[in-house]
Amino acid sequence: MATEAHEGTLTVTDNRTGQTYEFVITDGTIRATELRTIKVADDDFGLMTYDPAFMNTASCRSAITYLDGDNGVLRYRGYPIEQLAEKSTFLEVAWLLIHGELPTPAELAQFTKDVADRMAVDPSVVAAVKAYRKDAHPMGVLEAGFGQLSTLYPEAKAIESDPERMDALYNIIAKMPTIGGVAFRHGKGTDPVAPDPSLDYPTNILKMFFGADYDPDPRLVRALDILLILHADHEQNCSTSTVRSVGSSQVDPYSAVAAGVAALYGPLHGGANEAVLVMLREIGRKDAVPEFVEKVKNREALLMGFGHRVYKNYDPRATIIKKACDDVFEVTGVNPLLEIAVELEAVALNDEFFIQRKLYPNVDFYSGLIYEALGIPSEMFTVMFAIGRAPGWVAQWLEMINDEEQKISRPRQVYVGPDERDYVGIGAR
Ligand code: ACO
């Protein structure tokens, strides 16, 4: 088992009452609800934990992704990310995440066909995208697109029914790049390119973005597939826990994923890769790096693409992406911003401010450079992230729905507002 199971008990003495309690420890956790038995009086609500931003709260038991942030380890269903990035494909990884095992050749062939056949979107989705302003951010369009899909597939409300929900989950993976592609081309003032079910998934993405005549170099196709693999899941991150939380209301999975897209849009989450490129452009040249690092240390700027809630070591995905950069630049020529990024990393990794805080490059530090080399504009970077993360969102949603311990997600609060007081009429204020 991935997590160390330290079975045993925890004895707690409440110094307010002198009473002692014993709690069972399972997998390094105690049940938060058991703390409610710790009371000062019979009518006391009982003790709660206070954990803003969920810094130390496990919200679920999950068998999907194992992450050891201190040692820079990431595994999907037990398989190291390095092996998957080297040997697998994005659709194989998507199957693995959803079903728990690597597919047989027949299962993979069927899944590949199932996804390819589902990539086309209803004409009303294309019409809706075309109604947006040309400068609409594609993440806003994507978010709305998933709300629209929920209206087109009302049968997805049957979340307990396997055929209906599998249809929805495969649809989500299949249609994410198609809506992204329509939004991308609309922004450029060009007509959408329909998916071609005879093409593999990453080639389809590139053609839906750049035109049916675009003939991508296989090295670029592979680099894109690797990027998608690296983004496919990352346990209980902000957007995934959003998908679980919204999905816990038993809404259909398209709506839950629309919420996940919204969470991913934020600059502290999926929006960071776009922010990295903006930052690198602002720095402008290699010699300006030390000056920028000083600004970060003076709290005048954040070093985007650095730091992570869980990784306190080099993000293993950043290592793989850095290598993929070389393959892509072999085809496209080196992105001049790479030089600034490499210098920035070197300066930061040798600076006490970053060493002390264990701040290392995360997945977003280099991914934007590859996307840019592929010709993808920065406002589309987070859409690429969403395409990659779709299998993780749906696998985690499915695990949550099947988990008998899960209920509607509803945190507690510590109320710190005024005590009861009498209403004062507007004339008396
Ligand atoms: N640049 C400068 N200082 C930073 C950075 C950064 N990128 N990240 C963290 N720090 C500092 C904080 O100011 C804090 O310093 P302090 O203790 O002296 O106050 C310390 O490091 C700890 O950071 P926290 O903010 O407590 O870390 P948290 O886990 O809350 O935040 C986060 C993680 C949001 C990723 C943060 O590191 C950050 O903002 N990074 C930049 C944005 C980014 O790259 N996001 C992508 C994350 S990966 C992903 O979503 C795929």
Residue with tokens 């991508």: 216
β-sheet bridge partners, residue 8: 25
If one counts every other C-beta atom within 10 angstroms of the C-beta of residue 132, the result is 16
Please state the atom number of ligand 1 nearest to the C-alpha of residue 276.
Answer: 44
- Per-residue pLDDT 10s for the chain (429 aa) are 444 555 799 999 999 999 999 999 999 999 999 999 999 999 999 999 999 999 999 999 999 999 999 999 999 999 999 999 999 999 999 999 999 999 999 999 999 999 999 999 999 999 999 999 999 999 999 999 999 999 999 999 999 999 999 999 999 999 999 999 999 999 999 999 999 999 999 999 999 999 999 999 999 999 999 999 999 999 999 999 999 999 999 999 999 999 999 999 998 888 888 889 999 999 999 999 999 999 999 999 999 999 998 898 888 998 899 889 888 999 999 888 999 999 999 999 999 999 999 999 998 899 989 999 999 998 999 999 999 999 999 999 999 999 999 999 999 999 999 999 999 999 999
For the entire predicted model, the pTM comes to 0.93
If one counts every other C-beta atom within 10 angstroms of the C-beta of residue 54, the result is 13
pLDDT of residue 323: 87
> Rounded to whole angstroms, what are the CA distances from 301 to 214, 275, 291, 343, 419?
39, 12, 11, 17, 40
Q: Which residues are catalytic?
A: 269, 308, 364
Question: Backbone phi, then psi, for 193, in 5-degree steps?
Answer: -110, 125
Instruction: Kindly state the helix (H) or strand (E) to which residue 399 belongs, with its residue range.
Output: helix 381-402
pLDDT of residue 6: 57
Instruction: Kindly state the helix (H) or strand (E) to which residue 79 belongs, with its residue range.
Output: strand 79-80
Q: Whose CA is nearest to atom 13 of ligand 1?
A: 299
pLDDT of residue 5: 55
pLDDT of residue 1: 46
Instruction: Kindly state the helix (H) or strand (E) to which residue 203 belongs, with its residue range.
Output: helix 201-210
Residues within 6 Å of ligand 1 by CB: 268-270, 272, 296, 302-309, 357, 359, 362-364
Q: Whose CA is nearest to atom 41 of ligand 1?
A: 304
